[in-house]
A and B are shown apart, each in its own frame.
Chain A
Amino acid sequence: MSSRSMRGREVVVSVKELFKGFDAGRIQVLKDVTLEIAKGEVVALWGASGSGKTTLLHMMGGLDTPDSGTVWVGGLNAAEERDRLALRRQKVGFVFQLHNLIPDLSVRENCLVTSIATGGDSKQFESRFEELAQELGFDHRQDRRIQDLSGGERQRVALCRALMHRPDVILADEPTGSLDEKSGERVFELLTGLAKKEGTTVVMATHERRFADACDRIFHVRDGRVSEIGEG
C-alpha cells in the first residue's frame, strides 16, 4: 500500500470493506467495516460487549484473517500470512483486558519475551525496559513475579511489554476493563501519555464512554458495523 495521508498525517491503519464471520459465515461479526487511522492518533472503538471490537483489533494485529476486504497496518497487509509475523514483531503491540502475562516469569522477563521473538539486541531491549519501567512506575518491582503484583501494576507491565519493540500501533482491548476506577484511569493516562510522547498510534476497544470521550476520535461499533461518531 502506498503511503497515504489524512489531515496532513500519515495513515498507519487502513481498513476497507472488511467482512468477518464465524461458524461458516452463520455469525457475521464484522460487516463492511471501513476506517482509517493516522499516525499518533488515539482512537476508541466504543461499543457493547459482543459488538465486534475485539475481532476488529485481532484483524488489525494479524491474529485473524478477514473473509473479505483489506487491512493494512504500518504498510503491511494483515491478511497476508507472510506479513502477519512481521506485523506482530515490528508494527503492533497488544494490551489485553486480562493482562495475559506469563505467571512464573518476573516482570522483567515478561517484558523481555519480545526480545526473544524478534531476536533483537538484548542490551537495547534491556535499556528500553529500564526506561519504560521508570515511566510506568514499577522500576522498583522489576524482579517480582507477576502474582506478587496488583491488577493495576500487572496492566502497566502488560503496557510495557506492548511498547518494548517501539511499535507503530498499540492495540488495546479493554485495557481498563478489569481494573477499579482509579487504576483504570491511571492505566489509561499512562497508555495515552506514552503513546503521545512516542508518537505511537493507539486503537483502544472500550465499552466505557468516559474513556472513549478522552480519545482523539471515537468509532462506534454496533452489530459488526463501525461508524465514526466524532472527536473525543
Chain B
Amino acid sequence: MKFTKLIVINLTRHRVRALLGAAGIAFGVAAMLTVLSIVLGAIGMFERILSNDSHYLVFERNVSDLFFSSVPEDATRSISEMENVDTAYPMLFGIVSSDDTPVITCFGIADNDPRLDDAEWIAGDRSRFGQEENTIYLGLRAAEFAEVEVGEEVPIGKDILTVGGILKLENGFENGGVFMPLKLAQEFFHKEGFSSIIAVKLKEVSKGDVFKEEIEAEYPDLMALENEEFSSSYSQFKILSATAWAVGICAFLLGGMGVANAMLMSVFGRIREIAVLRVCGFSKAQVGAMIVGESLLLAFFGALLGFGIGYFALRVMQDLPQLNGYIKPVLDPWMLVGVGMVAFVTSVGGSCYPAWRAMKIQPAEALRYE
C-alpha cells in the first residue's frame, strides 16, 4: 500500500468533515478569484481608457492621482509636433454628481479623438461633436440610467447640459460616463488651458527612451511613461490591487481556519489510530506528513471547486444587466497560480498545528487505556 493511498482513505472515511474543510478553501478561492478578477478587470478598463491606441502617457510629475494632473495645452501642441510623434490626444478627467447619481465620470476629449470614431453612435451626429455649446455626449449605460434622449437636458453637477449624442462603447467605464468637448470640460472643471493626460502614439516605438528624455528636458513638471510602465507604477492601481489581494487573503484565512479545525478534529478522533501507526513503525515525521498530506489534498479539491464557483460567479455577474460592461473578468494565468499558491500555503499553515499535535501523540499513553 502506498502512503498516498492511506491519505486518500483517511479523508474518505470522514466525508462530511473533509467536505467542510474543502468548502472553506473553495469559498476562499472563489472569493479571491472573484475580487481579483473584478478589480484587475476594472484596472484593465481604466488602462484602456488612458492608452486608447497610444504608446506613452504624459502627465504631471508627482501627482497622487491622475484626476489632479494638469498638463498645459501648449505642451499638447508642441508634443504633437515632435518628429517621432504620430498622434497626441489630450484627455481631461473629472468626477461630478447629480441628484440621482453620486458619481459621474466625465471625459473631456478633443474633437478628433479616435474613440469617437470607434464608438457606435446610437443617436446623434459624430461630426457635430464639439460644435454646439453646452452639449455633452453620453455613454449608452449613462443615457439609460438617466433615461434621457438626444436633445433633452440633463443635470450634471450644478449645470444643466444638453445631450448631443449617445455612444455605445465596449469599455464599461466609458459606456457609463459623460463625454465633453475638451473646452467645455476645462470650463466645467475650472481647468482652462489644461488636460489631465496626453496619450501619445509614436511613429517609432523603439525610440521611446529618446521621447521620454525630450519630455523631461522640455517640461520638467511633466513625465512620460510607457503604458505598461505606467500601469505598474500608478499608485491607485497598486492600492486597488493590494486591497483585492488583502480581501482575498482574509477570505483564505477563514478557509485556513476551516482546514485547521477539520484536521484538528480528525487528529483528536484518531489518537489511538495514530498511536497504532507509531507502533507499526511510523516516525513522527511520517505522521506529520500524513496530516499535512490530507490537508493538501483537501486544498487541492477545495481549490478546484473554488475555481469552478468563482468562474461561475463571474459569468453570472458579467451577464447581469445591472453590471453589464462594468465587469470584465480577467483570468490571468499568474493570478490563478497566485491563488493556487495561497490555497497551498493556507492549507499547509492550517495543518501545522494539527500535524504537530499528531506528532506529539505518545503511543504508550494513547494505548494504555484500552
Q: Which residues of A contact B (CB under 8 A)?
A: 54, 58, 61, 63-64, 85, 88-89, 94, 96-98, 100-105, 108-109, 112-118, 122, 161, 165
Contact = CB atoms under 8 A, between A and B. Distances in A.
B364 interface: yes
Of the candidates B276, B283, B368, the one having the most CB atoms from chain A within 10 angstroms of its own CB is B276
B282 A116 contact: yes
Interface in B1-48: 1-3, 5-6, 9, 12-13
Nearest to A64: B364
Contact of A85 (B2, B281, B362, B370): B281
A61 B280 contact: no
Contact of A96 (B9, B12, B282, B370): B370
Of the candidates B1, B9, B13, the one having the most CB atoms from chain A within 10 angstroms of its own CB is B1
Given A63-B363, A96-B367, A109-B9, A102 B283 contact: no
B367 A100 contact: yes
Contacts of A100: 272, 276, 279, 367, 370
A169 to B, nearest CB: 13
Nearest to A171: B279
B363 A116 contact: no
A150 B351 CA distance: 36
Contact of A88 (B1, B9, B273, B279): B279
B318 interface: no
B80 interface: no
A114 B280 contact: yes
In order of increasing CB-CB distance, the 6 nearest A-B pairs are A117-B281, A89-B281, A64-B364, A63-B364, A112-B1, A104-B13
A108 B362 CA distance: 26
By secondary structure, the B interface counts as: helix
Given A88-B279, A114-B280, A117-B282, 4 more contacts: A63-B278, A105-B9, A117-B280, A165-B281
Contacts of A104: 9, 12-13
B277 interface: yes
B155 to A, nearest CB: 70
Contacts of A109: 1, 5-6, 9
Interface of B: 1-3, 5-6, 9, 12-13, 272-273, 276-283, 286, 362-364, 367-368, 370
Contacts of B362: 63-64
B285 to A, nearest CB: 10
Contacts of A89: 281
A88 B281 contact: yes
A47 B279 CA distance: 24
Given A97-B370, A114-B280, A102 B286 contact: no
Contacts of A54: 368
B281 to A, nearest CB: 3
A98 B370 contact: yes
Contacts of B368: 54, 58
B211 to A, nearest CB: 64
A122 B6 CA distance: 14
Contacts of A88: 278-281
Contacts of A117: 277, 280-283, 286
B271 to A, nearest CB: 12
Contacts of B367: 58, 63, 96, 100
Contacts of B281: 85, 88-89, 114, 117-118, 165
11 contacts: A58-B364, A63-B364, A63-B367, A88-B278, A88-B279, A98-B370, A100-B367, A100-B370, A113-B1, A116-B282, A116-B286
A104 B276 CA distance: 14
B279 A116 contact: no
Contacts of A58: 364, 367-368
Nearest to A97: B370
A179 to B, nearest CB: 14
Nearest to B286: A117
Contacts of B278: 63, 88
A159 B273 CA distance: 17
A116 B6 contact: yes
A161 B282 CA distance: 14
Contacts of B279: 61, 63, 88, 94, 100
A15 B250 CA distance: 57
B1 to A, nearest CB: 4
Contacts of A103: 13
A101 B279 CA distance: 12
B9 to A, nearest CB: 6
Given A89-B281, A109-B9, A102 B364 contact: no
B286 to A, nearest CB: 7
Nearest to A22: B368
A109 B1 CA distance: 6
B283 A115 contact: no
